[in-house]
Structures are given as structure tokens and as C-alpha cells.
Amino acid sequence: MFGLGWSEMVLVGIVALIVIGPKDLPGMFRTLGQFTGKARGMAREFSRAMEAAADESGMNDISKTVRAAANPQKFGVDKIKEATGMTQAPEKPILSPERQAAKEKMSDAMAKAATDRKAREAEEAAAAEPKGDDK
């Protein structure tokens, strides 16, 4: 607060206690608290009024566009999705029937290759295991 450390605030409090006196100090703090509350309320009201004015004038839409343009990678991807009509969630991409068939064919081939590899590795591991007769 105002760039003051705790030691400076304690010093200001002691000086206020001496200058204002212990009798009037609580009233001064109450008045100071009320003033601070009113100032915060006015700042909050001003901020809400500015946000409402920005909403009415369309500034939020403009600021979103500017933020999107500031991130060209995201801006480009969004525009490509809009142009191609691929606005669905990334987990479920839209594929043509030919591409979907090719995807399924590739997935099946990769699954078969993976199971063949696991079986081959299991055979190699079994062949490399030392026999119990070596003793």
C-alpha cells in the first residue's frame, strides 16, 4: 500500500496516535474506512459502466478479433476450420467415407503389426531364457 513497509506504517500510526490523540483516533479510522469504502464503490461503479459501454458499442467483439489476430497460429486454424466447415470438436474430426475407410484400414494394419511384434518378442524372450539343465 503506497509503497510503505510495515515499519513505516507503524511509525505513521504512532505519530497519528501522538498528534490526533487516543480519544479521536477511532473516529478518524472510521471516517477513513468510510472514505475508502466510498472510493472503492465509485471505482467499481465506474468499471461496470465502462464494461457496459464496451458491450453496447461492440468493443468486446473487436477486442476478441484483435486478440485472435495477435495469435496468428490460432487465427489461421480457426479460419481454415470455418472455410472447410470442420467446426466439430477435435476429438471427432469429420472425414469423407473414403478417408474413413482408409483410416480404418490403417488402424487394422497397425493393430495386426503390433500383435505380431508382441508375439515375436515373446517367442524371442522364451528362446533366450536359460534352461534349468545348465547346472
Q: For the chain, what are the domain ranges?
A: 95-127
Record the cell numbers describing residue 84, joined without a space: 472447410
Q: What pLDDT does residue 115 have?
A: 94
Cα separation, 63 vs 77, in Å, equals 19
- The pLDDT value recorded for residue 129 is 79
d(CA 15, CA 20): 8
pLDDT in tens, 86-106: 655 555 567 788 888 888 999
The helix/strand/coil state of 24 is coil
pLDDT at residue number 131: 67
Question: What are the residue ranges in the chain where pLDDT is below 70?
Answer: 1-2, 69, 72-79, 85-93, 131-135
Q: Count of CB atoms within 10 A of residue 83's CB?
A: 8
pLDDT at 85: 67
Contact 120, 128 (CB under 8 A): no
Going by the DSSP 8-state scheme, the letter that residue 96 receives in this structure is: -
Residues 6+ apart with CB under 8 A from 4: 12
Q: How far, in Å, CA of 98 to CA of 38, rounded?
A: 68
H-state helical runs in the chain: 6-20, 25-57, 59-70, 72-84, 97-128
